[in-house]
A and B are shown apart, each in its own frame.
Chain A
Amino acid sequence: MNLNEHLKNRLEEEKILLMTHLVLGYPSFDSNREVVRQMVAGGVDVIEMQIPFSEPMADGPVILKANQDAIAAGTRVDQCLEFAAEITAAYPIPFLFMTYYNILFRRGVADFCEQAATRGIRGLIVPDLPPEEGADYLAACGKNGLAPIQIFAPTSRPERMRFLAENGAGFIYCVARRGVTGRKTDFDQGFNAYLKRCRETTDLPLAVGFGISDRDDVAYLEGRADIAVIGTRTIRLVEEKGESTVGEFIRGLRK
């Protein structure tokens, strides 16, 4: 079953799905292992695992620091692939890789996609790779059954959204606002109109990320989007209160 179908089946059972995020190797793979366990136990539907990159242009201070600390701790792409193999074998939910294009490019885009797919990864999010630059990537994703998840922004025009959706699969990642990760999003009329535009341009499930941090945010997205993305919030939670608090936090998001 492809990622899109899997998510649509889950949406028969839940009003909104949850996707969580972690930075691989931050603060350690042991920590990642426990955080994933907690997240799955808490009921998340999809997890995006970020392979750290030294120049994470689209990320705010919290995730930026996590990327840099992970690299400073010696995290290698090979270790991220090994971790993916272990984790995807252990849990039944779909796992994605999120990273920046140079990580794929340096390894060889076709090789990277094949290696990710054989380790059970279901899709990729590459925020600095628009479809115009990604012909090799889209072909390699297609060949390996990976969903190339495309990104919508509030600045995207409808014709652009349609073009992105045509080149995407799995779901669409709708960036909730301008700016980088980790700051609060205002759910106002502009936001609602934006999500309406997203819905009109694609049948793929819509995930909303950037600034989604608590039960109220998730509740607001019910009926407006399909997947709520929790990113920076859980990294902060692990930093402040430890891995063991993550499951409870996740359970509280959809009560």
Chain B
Amino acid sequence: MKNNNGYFGAWGGAFIPEVLYETFRELNQAFEEAKNDPAFRREYIELMGNYSCRPTPLTRADNLSDHFGGARIFIKREDLNHTGAHKANNVMGQGLLVKRMGKRRVIAETGAGQHGVATATMAARFGFDCTIYMGEEDVMRQRPNVFWMEKLGAEVVPVKSGSRTLKDAINEAFRDWVASMDDTHYVLGTVCGPHPFPEMVAWFQSIIGIEAKKQIVEQFGKLPKRIYACVGGGSNAMGIFQGFLDQASVELIGVEAGGHGLDSGRHAARLASDDGSPGVAQGYKTMFLQDDDGQMADTHSVAAGLDYVGVSPILTDLWEKKRIRFAAATDTEVMAALDLTMKKEGIIPALESAHAFVQAFRETGDMSPNEAIIINMSGRGDKDIFTIAHAFNDPSWKKFIRDKGREYESE
């Protein structure tokens, strides 16, 4: 993965206000030193093994494979990371970097809440103060994660500006950082934002692909034909794809949020739809969903973690170079794939991750049993219990909520 002053092809860069110039200079320096220090990588790998169940398994999904009768399906289990998603890979790495830089407070944005929970966990473990910015709409739909962040000792600030989702939480985290950078590090959660964040987060997440490559060869005897990953900002996708980027025979597929459908205007497909266009916001240049004036659009997805206007500059570069193919899955398709995966394999993917399953299920039947595919399961679905129960219109769940409501009301 090459970059030129923070650029990947025409994408990326560092469009930052002057007040953060020194902070980014220091961060770049700290990251370069850490990256070139074998002891740092060793400390990171040891921490992830001891604290976060790495290496995560590559699960052979025989029931799903037999059901579709095509390629053999393997699932990379990032849900088994501590805190239930790939987010921990990035957060623990940045936590070690924060210790090296001698800062004592961390801030983060969160959409689905997985990055927020991971950051709150890291802060608890390392003894940092922690503030999490989360769009008000996401606070509503990801309540369990808000609860855990607060219990872990973080302050959760609901962001009421703009579309009240992930991009607004990022803006608010930057507004905190321009005042607090002397003692605070902004733990950006994805492979977006100003340089060095895309490269740095990708570097920490590369652990997924490094493991997966070894595991698939051990279990299947050869490399997979295709790899599927959901793409919000793109960190889990970059994580697994990096293990296979230089293997031209492995096709890489990123799956974006199709929301109510690509024709509906209610989606978050920056690359898979025709609606994206080049822009510069949140400190970097990429393909955004925006209007003719450059005002960012309101995006939609059932999955809060994919509900974002921009996408990693690294992925945009690889898309432009046709190394990665992009597709989109609708909210409805996502629920069906989730249901099937639970019934067939006893595995509950997060709504975000289920987007990757949708595209894999569309394609696997036409492939040969001599071929393998990997689905990157970026996280577990437990956090989505309210959204999923609502989407399934589950009567016993509704009754439980009503009863609980009555119980609290009578207190």
- Do A and B originate from a single complex? yes
Q: What A residues does B162 contact at CB under 8 A? A: 54-55, 68
Interface presence of B171 (CB below 8 A): yes
Instruction: Verify B18–A156 contact, CB threshold 8 A.
Output: yes
- Complex CA distance for A16 and B341, rounded to whole angstroms: 70
Instruction: Verify B294–A53 contact, CB threshold 8 A.
Output: yes
- Which of B239-247, B266-274, B280-288, B361-369 lies at the interface with chain A? B280-288
- Option from B18, B167, B279, B295 in Cβ contact (under 8 Å) with A130: B18
Instruction: Verify A57–B22 contact, CB threshold 8 A.
Output: no
- Option from A65, A127, A157 in Cβ contact (under 8 Å) with B161: A65
Give the interface centre of B17, B23, B281, B294 by most chain A CB atoms within 10 Å: B294
Minimal Cβ-Cβ distance residue in B for A103 = B294
Q: What A residues does B16 contact at CB under 8 A? A: 128, 130
Q: Which residues of chain A from 65 to 85 have any CB-CB distance to chain B below 8 Å in the complex?
A: 65, 68, 71, 76-77
Instruction: Verify A128–B171 contact, CB threshold 8 A.
Output: no
- Complex CA distance for A55 and B282, rounded to whole angstroms: 7
Instruction: Verify A180–B178 contact, CB threshold 8 A.
Output: yes
A211 to chain B, nearest CB (A): 12
Q: What B residues does A105 contact at CB under 8 A? A: 278-280, 285, 294
Instruction: Verify B179–A130 contact, CB threshold 8 A.
Output: no
Q: What A residues does B18 contact at CB under 8 A? A: 127, 130, 150-153, 155-156, 164, 175
Minimal Cβ-Cβ distance residue in A for B277 = A106
The total of chain B residues at the interface (CB under 8 A) is 37
Q: What A residues does B161 contact at CB under 8 A? A: 61, 64-65, 68
- Complex CA distance for A44 and B386, rounded to whole angstroms: 56
Q: Which residues of chain B from 145 to 191 have any CB-CB distance to chain A below 8 Å in the complex?
A: 161-162, 167, 171, 174-175, 178-182
Minimal Cβ-Cβ distance residue in A for B163 = A54
- Complex CA distance for A57 and B175, rounded to whole angstroms: 7
Interface presence of B19 (CB below 8 A): yes
Instruction: Verify A179–B178 contact, CB threshold 8 A.
Output: yes
- Complex CA distance for A157 and B22, rounded to whole angstroms: 8
Interface presence of B13 (CB below 8 A): yes
- Complex CA distance for A154 and B182, rounded to whole angstroms: 12
Interface presence of A115 (CB below 8 A): no
- Complex CA distance for A151 and B18, rounded to whole angstroms: 7
Instruction: Verify A127–B290 contact, CB threshold 8 A.
Output: no
Q: What A residues does B178 contact at CB under 8 A? A: 58, 178-180
Instruction: Verify A102–B14 contact, CB threshold 8 A.
Output: no
Interface presence of B292 (CB below 8 A): yes
Instruction: Verify A133–B23 contact, CB threshold 8 A.
Output: no
Q: What A residues does B293 contact at CB under 8 A? A: 76-77, 103, 106-107
How many A residues are at the interface, by size bracket?
A: 35 or more
B48 to chain A, nearest CB (A): 32
Q: What A residues does B167 contact at CB under 8 A? A: 55
Chain A 96-136 per-residue mask, 1 if CB under 8 angstroms from chain B, else 0: 00001111011100000000000000000001111011000
Minimal Cβ-Cβ distance residue in B for A56 = B171
Q: What B residues does A103 contact at CB under 8 A? A: 293-294
Instruction: Verify A53–B295 contact, CB threshold 8 A.
Output: yes
Interface presence of B15 (CB below 8 A): yes
Interface presence of A60 (CB below 8 A): yes
Interface presence of B296 (CB below 8 A): yes
Q: Which residues of chain B from 284 to 318 have any CB-CB distance to chain A below 8 Å in the complex?
A: 285, 290, 292-296
Instruction: Verify A155–B21 contact, CB threshold 8 A.
Output: yes
Q: What A residues does B182 contact at CB under 8 A? A: 178
A177 to chain B, nearest CB (A): 8
Instruction: Verify A106–B290 contact, CB threshold 8 A.
Output: yes
What residues of chain A have their CB less than 8 Å away from a CB belonging to chain B?
Answer: 53-58, 60-61, 64-65, 68, 71, 76-77, 100-103, 105-107, 127-130, 132-133, 150-157, 160, 164, 175, 178-180
The 4 tightest CB contacts between A and B, nearest first, are A106-B294, A179-B179, A153-B19, A102-B294
